[in-house]
A and B are shown apart, each in its own frame.
Chain A
């Protein structure tokens, strides 16, 4: 249980185009999903917190008009990188929060999406 998927796993796009990345909770409902970015040889940085049916909360320094997040249902959140540039190339990882086996909340991570902008 508690599986989170991401699609696509890899995407290559031209500079100036937009790319959409999907994050799905496959066997549970996630009222909250999170988007992280991992720079090469560095750790994961939280970009934004996405709550179903409401606007995402962005971390300081993250451009909300650049990284559009939509959480339209309890099992799907999308991240759209608009007008992508080479500096947006990165590994994007989502996670979803769910109730764990002990009744408390837990966060489960997706496998990541490698974005390369040419």
Chain B
């Protein structure tokens, strides 16, 4: 089974500051990587995904993530955050058959004015 680690349970940041949310996974085999955002009492919204190709992936709302195979990481970044980015962010890993998703424990991003 896969293991996904999001080291930071909460990340406070001021508006317009850059942010990085960290994600590491355990697999030594090929995987697909995802970042989802969840607003209170809502489902998951896909931010971005890495399936293959360029290791730098751009997603919605100005977010991007970089796949680093040697470090088994897939950190999420945004150069300038907005108040509206306040939410919980989940990193997820799927093996290439998409049979199961393994989620990290989530990181709460709190953007302060």
**Are A44 and B90 touching (Cβ within 8 A)?**
yes
Chain A min CB distance to B95 (Å): 11
Chain B min CB distance to A32 (Å): 8
Residue of B nearest to A107 (CB): B98
Q: Classify the interface of chain B: helix, strand, loop or mixed.
A: loop
How many residues belonging to A are interface residues under a CB distance threshold of 8 Å?
A: 23
**Are A46 and B100 touching (Cβ within 8 A)?**
yes
Given contacts A42-B106, A102-B51, contact A34 B41 (CB under 8 A): no
A106 to B34 CA separation, bound complex (whole angstroms): 11
**Are A105 and B98 touching (Cβ within 8 A)?**
yes
Chain A min CB distance to B21 (Å): 14
Q: Classify the interface of chain A: helix, strand, loop or mixed.
A: strand
A114 to B43 CA separation, bound complex (whole angstroms): 10
A6 to B42 CA separation, bound complex (whole angstroms): 12
Interface flag for A54 (CB, 8 Å): no
A32 to B94 CA separation, bound complex (whole angstroms): 15
Interface flag for A50 (CB, 8 Å): no
A93 to B42 CA separation, bound complex (whole angstroms): 10
Cβ 8 A contact of A106, one of B41, B44, B98: B98
**Are A49 and B103 touching (Cβ within 8 A)?**
no
Chain A min CB distance to B28 (Å): 21
- Which residues of A are found within 8 Å of B101, using beta-carbon distances? 34, 44, 46, 95, 107
Interface 1/0s, chain A 73-110, versus B by CB < 8 A? 00000000000000000010101010000101111011
Binding site for A on B (CB under 8 A): 36, 41-44, 46, 51, 90, 94, 97-101, 103-106
Binding site for B on A (CB under 8 A): 6, 32, 34, 42-46, 49, 91, 93, 95, 97, 102, 104-107, 109-112, 114
